[in-house]
Structure formats: structure tokens, C-alpha cells
Amino acid sequence: MGQAAAVATQGKAGRPPRWSKRQLIDGIRWRTGTGAPWRDVPARYGPWQTVYGLFRRWQRDGTWQRILTALQAQADAKGLITWQVSVDTTITRAHQHAAGARKGGTANAKHQAESTSSQPTTRSGAPGAG
């Protein structure tokens, strides 16, 4: 066995990581759980740039999707997932234009009063008027 084979079996070359994958993943979980900006990830999880870098790298190469698929398969095999979707439409509302409302909208009381066809009131020569 040559020296190249010995080096190949030792793992990756280069500087060892300063932060464990567990710390970085916990940082990702903290950030997604709180919804805070990446820059607010606590230092105990590593530099925010490193945490974000792992998140993006795994997002691009499909690691997160593979993790989700594997977890769903395990939960489904144990009967922990119910693949049934129920949509409650009693609170679904449409905008007035979606229902075919007139472009001008409904007339309000002010416009209705202006558009009445009643005759204007005039003074009459009747006794007691005046």
C-alpha cells in the first residue's frame, strides 16, 4: 500500500472544522424556529456566515429534501402520518371584484340621496306656509 492510499483512507485533507455539524445544525434550527435574521444567530452555534453557508450548501445539493423524505418515510412506516387534507371553506372570502360586482361599487347613501328623482320643495301660497 502506497503513501497515496494511506492518505486517502485518513479522510479529508485540510484544516479540521472548528465547529461541529451538530452546533451548526442547531444554529440552523434556532434560526428557522425563531425567524430571526441570520446575523442574529447566537455565537454558541458558530459564526452566522458558517451556519448560513451550511444551510445554503445543503439546500442547493438537496440534502434537506433527502432528510425530509427519509423522515417522512420513517414516520409513514410507523403509521404516524395521516395523508389526509381537510380544507375548511366556511371562512374563505373573495374580493368584491371576484364576485362580479359593478366596477363603480355599490352606491352609498350620499350618492343615493343625490340621485333621487323627487321634486324640490318650494314655498307654496297656502295659508300657514311661510
Residue at 25 is within a domain: yes
Residue at 41 is within a domain: yes
Residue at 45 is within a domain: yes
- Written as one string, the DSSP assignment of the chain is --HHHHHHHT---SPPPSS-HHHHHHHHHHHHHH---GGGS-GGG--HHHHHHHHHHHHHHTHHHHHHHHHHHHHHHTT---------GGG----GGGGT--TT----HHHHHHT--PPPP----STT--
Range of 44's domain?
15-77
Residue at 91 is within a domain: no
For 82-129, how does the pLDDT look when each residue is reduced to its tens digit (9 = 90+)? 888 887 777 767 777 776 666 665 656 555 555 555 565 656 555 555
Tell me the whole-structure pTM to 2 decimals: 0.54
Domain count, the chain: 1
Residue at 59 is within a domain: yes
For 27-84, how does the pLDDT look when each residue is reduced to its tens digit (9 = 90+)? 999 999 999 999 999 999 999 999 999 999 999 999 999 999 999 999 999 999 888 8
Residue at 103 is within a domain: no
